[in-house]
């Protein structure tokens, strides 16, 4: 199989042209760009270096205030597979991805964040997997990298998982992938164009809107193949600084976890589904609580309100409590959630 990506000549037969088209499907890679001038060149460089060359790379400049708009334009002039969209007002990652979807004309779609990388064989491996297993969604693992592209650690499943639509293990396997953080982000995935046709990211959410997009795709019951290979380079930067936290984030956590419960609702009698779902819900809430504690410019009373919107939710709390002891939370977090007392939270969140 050739990875040249060249179009067949006029002298080739229609049959040969059809074979070449099938052999070299076009992949649209959508990159939302905002304040990523330090890493954008590395990101785009990893895309144009893909061994599968039939690509449409869509750089969506989300009104970035740095040099990213100019860098995007420069890349567009260097490689005719790259197009740049300039948004006049910041739309956020979801709005930028939606703009990219409007212009995507590939047979498949991928998302990459502008400070991350793809391994050189990523697209080819995913396409080969999709073809071999008749999958409309291929998911792969991530490798955490530092600011200098040095590998830190891998976040992968133990073995490849073939999730076949209609199988009695379908939801059990998806719950396992959810538990391993394979479902949540839109990146680290290859989607068939048909699977995401008409789907868009929710732009009124500030957290976990990407999970809702993936769940909407899964509602169409595609075949899914999950690879253990860490093909996605995820940039991990921990500044340790105070963060900006908006109330919408805690509300979005509730909404996203409702969506998980809704998706698996008819399969909660399966102990494996319930265990993995509960574990994921508990860890999701536990991950946000320290962010609220570190948040700058928010009173302690508001922090307590934001936390208890999650820990007291009538629908989420019973599910969370099932796996609380096995979650990744600290012992103090577990005790606080168990007791769930406003005055104890007030002391803990100061």
* Distance set, CA 27 to CA 109, 189, 192, 262, 330 (Å): 6, 12, 9, 31, 42
Mean pLDDT, the chain, rounded, equals 91
Phi, psi of 123 (to 5 degrees): -65, -45
> Band of the pLDDT at 21, cuts 50, 70, 90?
very low
Q: Which domain holds residue 220?
A: 14-235
**291-317 confidence digits (pLDDT tens):** 899 888 899 999 999 999 999 999 999
- Residues 337, 230: one domain? no
- Residues 254, 225: one domain? no
In-domain check, residue 81: yes
**Strand spans (E) along 177-275:** 189-192, 224-235
**30-86 confidence digits (pLDDT tens):** 999 999 999 999 999 999 999 999 999 999 999 999 999 999 999 999 999 999 999
In-domain check, residue 87: yes
Give the position of tokens 């609580």: 289
Residue 282 CA to residue 270 CA, distance in Å, equals: 18
Task: Give the closest residue to 280 by CA, choosing from 185, 141, 173, 181.
Answer: 181
In-domain check, residue 175: yes
- Residues 159, 41: one domain? yes
- Residues 20, 165: one domain? yes
pLDDT(13) > 70:
no
Q: What confidence score (pLDDT) does residue 208 get?
A: 86
- Residues 70, 184: one domain? yes
The predicted model scores a pTM of 0.89
Q: What confidence score (pLDDT) does residue 287 get?
A: 92
**75-96 confidence digits (pLDDT tens):** 999 999 999 999 988 899 999 9
CATH number of the domain residue 86 falls in: 3.90.550.10
Domain boundary, last residue among 235, 265, 297: 235
pLDDT(5) > 80:
no
In-domain check, residue 123: yes
- Residues 214, 326: one domain? no
In-domain check, residue 159: yes
- Residues 110, 209: one domain? yes
Rg value, the chain, Cα: 21
In-domain check, residue 6: no
Q: What's the rounded mean pLDDT across residues 232-240?
A: 77
pLDDT(239) > 60:
no
Domain boundary, last residue among 235, 263, 290: 235
pLDDT(282) > 80:
yes
- Residues 185, 283: one domain? no
Contact 300, 349 (CB under 8 A): yes
In-domain check, residue 168: yes
In-domain check, residue 198: yes
């Amino acid at each position: 199989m050739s990875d040249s990506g060249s179009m067949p000549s006029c002298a080739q037969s229609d049959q040969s042209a059809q074979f070449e088209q099938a052999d070299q499907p076009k992949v649209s890679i959508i990159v939302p760009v905002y304040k990523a001038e330090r890493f954008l060149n590395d990101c785009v460089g990893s895309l144009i270096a893909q061994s599968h060359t039939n690509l449409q790379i869509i750089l969506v400049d989300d009104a970035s205030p740095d040099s990213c708009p100019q860098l995007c334009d420069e890349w567009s002039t260097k490689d005719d597979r790259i197009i740049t969209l300039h948004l006049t007002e910041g739309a956020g990652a979801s709005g930028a991805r939606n703009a990219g979807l409007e212009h995507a004309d590939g047979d498949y779609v991928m998302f990459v964040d502008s400070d991350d990388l793809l391994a050189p064989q990523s697209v080819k491996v995913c396409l080969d997997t999709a073809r071999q297993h008749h999958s409309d969604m291929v998911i792969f693992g991530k490798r955490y990298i530092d600011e200098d592209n040095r590998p830190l650690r891998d976040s992968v499943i133990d073995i490849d998982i073939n999730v076949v639509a209609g199988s009695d293990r379908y939801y059990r396997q998806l719950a396992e992938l959810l538990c391993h953080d394979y479902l949540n982000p839109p990146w680290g995935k290859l989607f068939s164009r048909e699977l995401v046709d008409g789907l868009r990211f929710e732009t009124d959410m500030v957290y976990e809107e990407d999970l809702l997009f993936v769940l909407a795709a899964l509602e169409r019951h595609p075949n899914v193949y999950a690879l253990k290979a860490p093909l996605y380079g995820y940039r991990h930067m921990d500044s340790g600084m105070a963060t900006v936290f908006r109330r919408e984030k805690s509300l979005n956590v509730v909404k996203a976890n409702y969506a998980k419960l809704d998706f698996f609702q008819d399969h909660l009698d399966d102990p494996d589904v319930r265990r993995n779902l509960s574990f994921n819900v508990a860890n999701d809430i536990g991950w946000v609580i320290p962010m609220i504690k570190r948040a700058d410019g928010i009173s302690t009373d508001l922090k307590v309100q934001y936390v208890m919107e999650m820990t007291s939710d009538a629908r989420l709390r019973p599910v969370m409590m099932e796996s609380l002891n096995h979650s990744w939370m600290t012992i103090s977090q577990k005790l606080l959630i168990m007791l769930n007392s406003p005055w104890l939270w007030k002391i803990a969140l100061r």
